[in-house]
Amino acid sequence: MLFSSEELLELKRTAPQYGRTQGLADKLDDLQKGRIDVANYGTMKVYQPIVISYEVTTGAASIIVSANLPFKIRVIDVVIEPTGASTNGTIEIHDGTNAITNTMLCATDKTIARATTIDDAYSTIAAGGTLEIVCAGDAVGSTVALVTIKAIAVD
């Protein structure tokens, strides 16, 4: 449950601006109770995150996770867990042509790296598009990691 009944009442009482945005507190209450009626909620959307995990074991220059995505997605987060000793290894996520994320250092075993920037011009990938992991900065085979990409399906 997102909010208790008391918390929703307090939200309605103390934040009247939510009442002017088509009753956000009521929408949150409906959402957590499973009473979603698309006709009454306009542009409000509820997304289930899609988690794509890929273990980079070769450190090749380019690893295509999918060259034929079954539906349109938007990348919203990327986490890298290095699983080996690399010297200068880096990883980026691309749409097949353009970088979606910043370059993430993948050089220290057990040290988590996270995308600090996601380029919204490229983070949405069409159905049939490509999601690519690009390794660089080290000898092939040295950059190894578990790459976890969080995305949502979009219209």
pLDDT of residue 18: 47
Tell me, what's the pLDDT at 79? 95
The tens-digit pLDDT sequence of the chain (155 residues) is 455 666 656 656 665 554 444 455 566 666 566 555 555 555 556 667 888 888 887 666 667 777 788 888 999 999 999 888 777 888 999 998 999 999 998 888 888 999 999 999 999 999 888 999 988 877 767 778 889 999 988 87
Rounded CA-CA distance 82/72 in Å is: 28
In terms of domains, do 61 and 91 share one? yes
Residue 63 is part of which domain span? 50-153
Do 54 and 37 have their domain in common?
no
Cα torsion through 34, 40, 42, 48, rounded to 10: 10
Residues 17 and 83 occupy one common structural domain = no
* 80 and 101, same domain (yes or no): yes
pTM, entire model: 0.68
Is the same domain home to 60 and 29? no
Provide the number of structural domains found in the chain: 2
Same domain as 123, residue 55: yes
Residue 126 belongs to a domain with what CATH number?
Answer: 2.60.120
- Among candidates 70, 68, 120, 57, which has minimal Cα distance to 96? 68
Helices (H), 1-155: 5-14, 17-20, 24-32, 38-41
Q: Examine the domain organization and report whether 74 and 132 are in the same domain.
A: yes
